[in-house]
């Protein structure tokens, strides 16, 4: 028995099942340009995976055979970026329940303007109750995608048009998506202000692994990987620290707007950071693991031995296996948002103080 299938965009197969290699070639580009023919049919033991976007007005269908149903899905780079459109469409509803439903059953949201990690539906909904009052619409400016079996990651820089105020706000982002049933959900979302636009109040891999046989580390093993990075900091050697990152990394550092996506740019960042003689301690940790990858995000604190200062920040590490070694594929570090103010606000305060001095002779 053959079943005829209709949708806005169809990718149909002729009477034979899709192989794994064939299925992996079905991308948004091929879907958008393909047209069904009259004699095209789908075998009974195939099924569709699909998603649609209000923003593009398109529905995307992928046909996979039952033979491949047990294998974890691997999305193309364009399909990963398409998941952002679903979240952006949820923002457009101005309904915090709709937005919170885009997150997984065990999420972690590190939002732009709150120090509190949001790790369940209700706390995420609470954050968006206030954020949606600004009527935000997001646009990705830079994107660095990593994909693997049953998971994917998109990190870079996005910009929000806040229609309620007329403002435009740029920020750095990290999304990690995992498959829950037949739907891709946001397992981790870290959003932070551009660090070169803020000051303290007090002063991006296509490393696809074989998911079925890939190892899944324990939570303690994942947290232990931070110790390897911390030990590298202790050497005060930027080459040693940069070597902890993968061959196709993305570092979104605490005090630089520039994404660092290769060994030399990461080394350059740590040349200056290591002058402070930092030692890190994890204060809060939320771990997610999968075949051949793992993620640790939360809050850490640095003791800067060269200055005597202590600095708290939010972090996201995503590790992937390269050979026999776990490497940092993605590292996003951001200042605690409730401890920072925009430079413009600080300048306004300084001007106000100067005016008071001129008027009252203070």
Q: Per the domain annotation, does 87 fall within a domain?
A: no
Return the exposure string of 311-349: e unless at least 16 CB atoms fall within 10 Å of the residue's CB, then b.
Answer: bebbbbbbbbbeeeebbbbbbbbbbebeebeeeeeeeee
Q: Which segments of the chain have a pLDDT < 70?
A: 1-71, 196-214, 339-362
Domain residue limits at 243: 205-341
Q: Per the domain annotation, does 355 fall within a domain?
A: no
Which pLDDT value is given to residue 12? 31
This prediction's pTM: 0.53
Among the three residues 19, 38, 71, which one is the final residue of a domain in this structure? 71
Q: Say if CB 322 and CB 242 are below 8 A apart.
A: no
Among the three residues 25, 46, 71, which one is the final residue of a domain in this structure? 71
Q: Per the domain annotation, does 332 fall within a domain?
A: yes
- pLDDT tens for residues 226-270? 999 999 999 999 999 999 999 989 999 888 888 899 999 999 999
Domain count, the chain: 2
Q: What's 281's domain CATH number?
A: 3.10.450.50
Which pLDDT value is given to residue 24? 36
Which pLDDT value is given to residue 2? 35
Which pLDDT value is given to residue 118? 93
Around 1, how many Cα atoms within 13 Å sit in the side-chain half-sphere? 3
Nearest Cα neighbor of 249 from 233, 265, 234, 270 is 265
Which pLDDT value is given to residue 282? 96
Q: Per the domain annotation, does 278 fall within a domain?
A: yes
Identify the three-state secondary structure at position 153.
Answer: strand
Q: Per the domain annotation, does 176 fall within a domain?
A: no
Q: Per the domain annotation, does 76 fall within a domain?
A: no
Q: Per the domain annotation, does 36 fall within a domain?
A: yes
Q: Per the domain annotation, does 91 fall within a domain?
A: no
Which pLDDT value is given to residue 103? 97
The tokens describing 275, both together, are: 């002058």
């Amino acid at each position: 028995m053959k079943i005829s299938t209709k949708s806005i965009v169809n990718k149909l197969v002729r009477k034979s099942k899709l192989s794994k290699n064939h299925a992996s070639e079905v991308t948004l580009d091929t879907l958008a340009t393909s047209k069904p023919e009259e004699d095209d049919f789908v075998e009974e033991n195939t099924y569709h995976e699909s998603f649609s976007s209000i923003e593009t007005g398109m529905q995307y269908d992928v046909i996979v055979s039952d033979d491949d149903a047990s294998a974890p899905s691997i999305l193309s780079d364009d399909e990963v970026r398409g998941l952002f459109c679903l979240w952006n469409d949820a923002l457009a509803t101005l309904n915090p329940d709709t937005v919170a439903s885009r997150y997984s059953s065990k999420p972690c949201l590190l939002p732009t303007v709150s120090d509190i990690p949001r790790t369940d539906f209700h706390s995420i909904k609470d954050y968006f109750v206030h954020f949606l009052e600004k009527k935000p619409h997001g646009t990705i400016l830079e994107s660095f995608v990593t994909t693997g079996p049953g998971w994917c990651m998109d990190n870079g820089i996005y910009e929000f048009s806040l229609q309620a105020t007329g403002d435009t706000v740029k920020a750095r982002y990290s999304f990690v998506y995992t498959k829950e049933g037949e739907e891709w959900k946001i397992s981790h979302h870290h959003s932070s202000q551009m660090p070169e636009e803020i000051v303290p109040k007090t002063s991006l891999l296509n490393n696809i692994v074989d998911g079925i046989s890939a190892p899944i580390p324990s939570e303690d093993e994942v947290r232990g990987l931070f110790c390897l990075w911390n030990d590298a900091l202790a050497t005060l050697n930027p080459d040693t620290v940069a070597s902890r990152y993968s061959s196709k990394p993305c570092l979104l550092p605490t005090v630089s707007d520039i994404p660092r996506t290769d060994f030399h740019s990461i080394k350059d960042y740590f040349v200056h950071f290591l002058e402070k003689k930092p030692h890190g301690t994890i204060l809060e940790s939320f771990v997610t693991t999968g075949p051949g990858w793992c993620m640790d995000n939360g809050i850490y604190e640095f003791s800067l031995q060269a200055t005597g200062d202590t600095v708290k920040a939010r972090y996201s590490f995503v590790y992937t296996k390269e050979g026999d070694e776990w490497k940092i594929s993605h590292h996003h570090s951001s200042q605690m948002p409730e401890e920072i103010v925009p430079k413009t606000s600080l300048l306004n305060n300084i001007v106000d103080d100067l005016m008071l001095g001129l008027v009252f002779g203070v």
